[in-house]
Amino acid sequence: MLDDKKISKTSLDELGEFGLIEQIALRFPPKLTSTLQGIGDDAAVIDYKDEKTLVTSEIFIEGIHFRWDYMPLRHLGYKITMATASDLIAMNAKPQQLLVNIALSNRFTIEAVDEIYNGIKYACDQLKMDVVGGDTTSSTRGLCVSLTAIGSAKEEKILYRKGAKPKDLLVVTGDLGGAFLGLQVLEREAQVNKVNPNNQPDFSNYTYLIERQLKPQARIDILELLKELDVQPTSMIDISDGLSSEVLHLAKENGLGMNIYEEKIPLDPSTIRTAEEFNINPITCALSGGEDFELLFTIKQKDFDKIKGNPNFSIIGYVGEEKEGSFLITKGNEQKVPLVAQGWREQEA
Ligand code: ADP
Ligand code: MG
């Protein structure tokens, strides 16, 4: 990707670290009233008045969390911003400020860094966030980016993983498994490209899945929707590692069992079709795939009618009475299979 002919090459040395930071600063004039000082001083200054401050960090390492061959730099910047903001959204907080720490090897060009920041800016514009600072350094090999997102929420509105009660209903937004299958499609093409560099990939059957992988949307829209519907979740988490592991997180934090129905897990038709093509069970993609960045939450039964039939939500199960374990209830024969957390990501390196 870095050798892409469209990207010209200005070495980072020509501009220097300060020149680079100056360029970055020009693109991010603070817009939010909560940002009192953005890039340019020794620290940013933020004021959330009567709201609590929420902070979260993520780290992304080349070769472990992303690869160049199918992750254009602009998409990388966009995706990591969405992934980081998603953790604040899962607390029912408004993401507002972003810090960008970046370590670059000398094979990077100004234009390449620009592309990363184009993606970061695009995501920040969508989420209404200000980039207010960061740090820049060199690395001996590969790219490493770490993002810190800061946001705010009224104390009584913050949603924790803990808070679910027995008989609550488990709800997920959107559909699951798509991002994982998008990655499978991209990896398959990358393999073909190695053998035949003139290969012209035809992704037309996989547009939705590739978009789920390269351009995920953190579900900030859901927070507004829940408010409109007057639904108050009792606990919440974002789905970054696959449904199984997130359901198990909720179970553990609450000291309760969780039961989900296989037939209720939302799958897009292209997820089902493509999983068949790859000889994988689409449910496995949803349970273990990850990177969908949808929300998983629990609600009281009295809120059921408020979200029933709403296409944004699927009620996938219920919270068990006691510490009786967490299960997937299978289609048809209603067998209870213990849920296991098995991230696909761990297999990468
Ligand atoms: P210091 O020497 O105090 O660490 P820097 O020169 O690293 O200062 O940073 C100067 C300003 O630029 C600070 O406001 C810092 O937060 C910001 N900054 C540095 N690197 C980045 C980056 N990669 N992205 C965004 N802002 C950055
Ligand atoms: Mg610094």
Tens of pLDDT, residue by residue over 321-333, are 777 899 999 998 7
292 is in an annotated binding site: no
121: number of Cβ within 10 Å: 19
Mean pLDDT of the chain: 92
Q: What is the CATH number of the domain that holds 254?
A: 3.90.650.10
pLDDT of 4 over the 50 cut: no
Share of the chain above pLDDT 70, in %: 95
Check whether residue 172 and residue 287 sit in a common domain: yes
135 is in an annotated binding site: yes
Q: Tell me which residue has its CA closest to atom 16 in ligand 1.
A: 133
pLDDT of 268 over the 90 cut: yes
Q: What mean pLDDT do residues 237-249 have? A: 97
Full residue range of the structural domain in which residue 100 is found: 32-157
What is d(CA 261, CA 283) in angstroms, rounded to the nearest whole number?
A: 11
> 115 C-alpha vs ligand 2 centroid, how far in Å?
21
Structure confidence at residue 66 as a pLDDT band (50, 70, 90): confident
How high is the pLDDT of residue 200? 81
Q: What mean pLDDT do residues 266-294 have? A: 97
pLDDT of 3 over the 50 cut: no
> 134 C-alpha vs ligand 2 centroid, how far in Å?
7
Structure confidence at residue 102 as a pLDDT band (50, 70, 90): very high
Is position 227 within any domain? Answer: yes
Confidence (pTM): 0.93
Is position 19 within any domain? Answer: no
pLDDT of 336 over the 70 cut: yes
How high is the pLDDT of residue 343? 52
Is position 100 within any domain? Answer: yes
Determine how β-strand 258-261 pairs with β-strand 327-329: parallel
pLDDT of 349 over the 50 cut: no
What is d(CA 141, CA 103) in angstroms, rounded to the nearest whole number?
A: 9
Is position 27 within any domain? Answer: no
How high is the pLDDT of residue 345? 44
User: Ligand 1 — pocket residues by CB below 6 A?
Assistant: 21, 24, 39-42, 100, 102, 131, 133-136
Q: What mean pLDDT do residues 190-195 have? A: 86
Nearest-5° Cα angle at 33, 60 to 43:
50
Q: How far is CA 246 from CA 104, 105, 212, 236, 250, in A?
A: 33, 35, 19, 10, 6
Share of the chain above pLDDT 90, in %: 78
What is d(CA 14, CA 80) in angstroms, rounded to the nearest whole number?
A: 27
How high is the pLDDT of residue 71? 86
145: number of Cβ within 10 Å: 24
- Among the residue ranges 155-164, 258-267, 319-328, the one predicted with the least confidence is 319-328
Query: How do residues 6-40 score in pLDDT, each as one tens digit?
Result: 556 777 777 777 888 999 999 999 999 999 999 99
> 117 C-alpha vs ligand 1 centroid, how far in Å?
14
Q: Are 294 and 178 in contact (CB under 8 A)?
A: no
Q: What mean pLDDT do residues 163-185 have? A: 97
Q: Tell me which residue has its CA closest to atom 11 in ligand 1.
A: 40
Check whether residue 182 and residue 141 sit in a common domain: no
Check whether residue 231 and residue 152 sit in a common domain: no
How high is the pLDDT of residue 8? 60
Residue 17 alpha carbon, nearest atom of ligand 1: 6
Q: What mean pLDDT do residues 122-147 have? A: 95
> 37 C-alpha vs ligand 1 centroid, how far in Å?
12
How high is the pLDDT of residue 5? 44
Q: Tell me which residue has its CA closest to atom 9 in ligand 1.
A: 135
Q: Tell me which residue has its CA closest to atom 6 in ligand 1.
A: 18
Q: What mean pLDDT do residues 126-145 have? A: 94
pLDDT of 346 over the 70 cut: no
Check whether residue 183 and residue 315 sit in a common domain: yes
Check whether residue 141 and residue 209 sit in a common domain: no
Which residues on neighbouring strands pair with residue 299, listed in sequence order? 169
Q: What is the CATH number of the domain that holds 46?
A: 3.30.1330.10
Check whether residue 231 and residue 326 sit in a common domain: yes
pLDDT of 122 over the 70 cut: yes
161 is in an annotated binding site: yes
pLDDT of 231 over the 90 cut: yes
Q: Tell me which residue has its CA closest to atom 7 in ligand 1.
A: 135
Mutation pick for ligand 1 pocket among 135, 139, 145, 150 (CB with most ligand atoms within 8 Å): 135
Cα torsion through 47, 97, 158, 315, rounded to 10: 160
